[in-house]
Amino acid sequence: MSVVSSVTVTVPATTANLGPGFDCIGAALTLYNKVKFTRLDAGGLIIQVTGKEAEGVNTDESNLLYQAFVKLYQHIEQIPPSVKIEIDLGVPLARGLGSSATAIVGGLVAANQLAGEPLSQLQVMELAIAMEGHPDNVVPALLGGCRLAATSAEGWEICDVPWDENVVPVVAIPDFELSTQEARRVLPTEFSRADAIFNTAHLGLLLRGLATGKGEWLKTALQDKLHQPYRQALIPGYDAVNQAAVAAGAYGMVISGAGPTLLALADAQHSPAVAAAMQTAWQTVGITADVRSLSLDNQGAKSLNEG
Ligand SMILES: Nc1ncnc2c1ncn2[C@@H]1O[C@H](COP(=O)(O)OP(=O)(O)O)[C@@H](O)[C@H]1O
Ligand SMILES: N[C@@H](CCOP(=O)(O)O)C(=O)O
């Protein structure tokens, strides 16, 4: 077997929850992180980061990409090789667009390639879910598309969620961070029966709304009782941006992942006006946002080996 000397992995950003699908549904978006791992003969660890917000990424052994890389080698009971890691950041950090999932998936996929592919994609996915603690970012980051994950007797059942191409995800990324850990801390651990029923019904409706692009269903479906009511207070301007997005023709607006990015769903005709309205609304409360109309990424993590 020839030894792979370097591998480049590209991993998409993800938007998790989509309103009522807390911790179980997420979609890969056309926004990417790229990372190259190269074996080092001399030993040691070199981490170089380029791109916007590069200074926010650790360049020592605590780096999440490196931690994931080591995790796979530990799993196969081998010593990880010394590596140089070159990170090209395209996914903003701690914004609710799955940057940590890109790091976990990127590190695991790279290690699996350098080690000669000892693990299947399913095994890589299980390691990624265990590291992240919930499946809704790492699964679409690895597989692409919109994915629903449910625990099964054997581990995880993953299903692809059809997404009508006329449903456009518009992300408004503010210029402040909110760590997922902090945004999980504000959530209750127990919920009422009424709230559980509410979310079950709305997630079912969301699946049908995404598949058909039927606006009436999507308008109702994007509501949630499990996480958004508790997190809105962490995102200044939430109400103003929500009202502006809906007034401009969006089906609705939700918190992307744990926030603070806000995600509106709109049809292609309305998406430019929705994007502009979200940006203006945030500006009125003093927050600058990078607003983009994206598409679904359908490929997930891609790797290219050299040597
Ligand atoms: N490309 C990367 N390389 C290394 N670490 C990363 C990378 N991207 C994100 N991280 C780590 O993940 C943290 C953000 O994770 P988290 O709070 O879950 O937010 P997000 O919603 O972006 O996933 C960053 O502060 C950083 O420690
Ligand atoms: N289901 C998780 C999703 C976190 O996504 P991230 O992009 O903010 O890391 C949650 O809502 O906590």
CA of 28 to the centre of ligand 2 (A): 13
Q: Is the CB of 137 under 6 A from ligand 2?
A: yes
Please tell me the predicted confidence (pLDDT) of residue 204: 98
Q: Is the CB of 231 under 6 A from ligand 2?
A: no
Please tell me the predicted confidence (pLDDT) of residue 42: 87
Question: What burial letters (b/e) apply to 17-49, b meaning 16+ CB within 10 Å?
Answer: bbbbbbbbbbbbbebbbbbbbbeeeeeebebeb
Q: Is the CB of 71 under 6 A from ligand 2?
A: no
Which stretches of the chain drop beneath a pLDDT of 50?
none
CA of 51 to the centre of ligand 2 (A): 23
Q: Is the CB of 288 under 6 A from ligand 1?
A: no
Place of tokens 């070159």: 86
Is residue 77 exposed (0-12), middle (13-18) or buried (19+ Cβ within 10 Å)? exposed
Q: Which ligand is nearest to the CA of 134?
A: 2
Q: Does 100 carry a binding-site annotation?
A: yes
Instruction: Specify the length of the chain in residues.
Output: 307
In the CATH hierarchy, which top-level class contains the domain 6-161? alpha beta
Widest distance between CA atoms in the chain: 61
Please tell me the predicted confidence (pLDDT) of residue 1: 59
Q: Does 259 carry a binding-site annotation?
A: no
Question: What are the distances in angstroms from CA 92 to CA 262, 282, 300?
Answer: 13, 18, 18
Instruction: Kindly provide the ipTM of the predicted complex, given to two decimals.
Output: 0.99
Q: Contact at 8 Å (CB) between 65 and 97?
A: no
> Who's near 190: CB < 8 A, 6+ residues apart?
none
Q: Is the CB of 199 under 6 A from ligand 2?
A: no
CA of 169 to the centre of ligand 2 (A): 17
CA of 92 to the centre of ligand 1 (A): 8
CA of 166 to the centre of ligand 1 (A): 30
Sequence spans of domains, the chain = 6-161, 167-293
Question: What burial letters (b/e) apply to 214-233, b meaning 16+ CB within 10 Å?
Answer: bbebbbebbbbbbbbeebee
Q: pTM for the whole thing?
A: 0.97
Q: Whose CA is closest to atom 17 on ligand 1?
A: 179
Pick among 1.20.1250.20, 3.30.70.890, 3.30.160.20, 3.40.50.10140: CATH of 167-293: 3.30.70.890
Q: Which ligand is nearest to the CA of 18?
A: 2
State which ligand 2 atom lies nearest to the alpha carbon of 183.
12
Question: Using CA atoms, how far apart are residues 260 and 182, in angstroms rounded to an integer?
Answer: 11
